[in-house]
Structure 1
């Protein structure tokens, strides 16, 4: 599934500080008594178990029962809304987090649609919904979608696939440790 390519990106892209809900959305936290006194804070390496859903409440992706997702808190490796909501949690804590588009992958940007000649796109992608992988100016992989096919051109959508979407995370903090020193 093409969304799998964004498995870590669903948590790890975009300019990803208190444990508050986003846009007034309810937040539920469950703390395990006797858990480590170490809490999620800037510079800590955090391992999570998570499930991500969209408005339709279907699971988009999950790592429950698989390898934990690990990130460095405060390093903008996950979406900002999720990072803010995790601040202050301890090992064993569970939380439901609602992340509005502005604190996730942003709103859909109409300027991110670009019309290009068909000759610049593989023929097999000359259909609405086709997905293409391209390299951005910084060399990072990005997923493009064909949104319209015209006589001599196609319209590509450069927005992140989750742009404009509210994200619903169920998370559990599995481990918190000091971040590894940067390699020289």
Structure 2
């Protein structure tokens, strides 16, 4: 019996993410390195995990998720305004630059510079794909690749 993706599977897959206008936002095919997903660890949205359940190694599927089910909707509270003085150490960044910022709790958050004005710099901390419907093209290469390797070692 061939394994299929379940709620706790680890999945090795190639994927391409496309926006509504057909542009590719991300693709593992470009690097030639597939991605490793672990269902149930909180890194994937529940609607995305639902689309993967039941797939088997070798399966290919295409589906579209709306913003709330993919990378979330844009949150205006995540757009922050900084003074140019806040950038005296790093220098004034260009629009489109992604920078790491240190939060109050010491964690780092990436933010994209959206606007550079005379006296302020606007930084967006939303995920770059927030607010976009995304089409996923996924090809399942392996299911639980590490687990299968353990079983092979025990059998050998």
Superposed pair shares fold, TM > 0.5 = yes
Say if 2:59 is the partner of 1:59.
no
2:13 aligns with: 48
Say if 2:86 is the partner of 1:120.
yes
State which structure, 1 or 2, has the greater radius of gyration over its C-alpha atoms.
2
Superimposed CA distance per residue, residues 36-86 of structure 1 (whole angstroms, 9 cap, x where no aligned partner): 521101222111111111122122222237222112112122343322200
Say if 2:110 is the partner of 1:146.
no
Distance 1:150 1:64, change over 3 A: closer
SS of the residue 1:111 aligns to: helix
Q: Superposed, which structure 2 residues align to 1:156-171 within 5 Å?
A: 156-171=123-138
Shift of 1:175: 0.7
* Structure 2 runs not aligned, ≥5 long: 151-156
SS of the residue 2:107 aligns to: coil
1:9 aligns with: none
SS of the residue 1:64 aligns to: helix
Residues 12, 145 of structure 2: 8 Å contact kept: no
* Structure 1 runs not aligned, ≥5 long: 1-35
Residues 146, 155 of structure 1: 8 Å contact kept: yes
Residues 14, 28 of structure 2: 8 Å contact kept: yes
Give the RMSD, CA atoms, in angstroms.
Answer: 2.4
Separation of aligned partners in 2, 1:135 and 1:156: 13
Question: Which structure is higher in RCO with an 8 Å CA cutoff and minimum separation 6?
Answer: 2
Separation of aligned partners in 1, 2:46 and 2:19: 17
Structure 1 runs (4+) greater than 6 angstroms displaced: none
SS of the residue 1:76 aligns to: coil
TM-score, with structure 2 as normaliser: 0.79
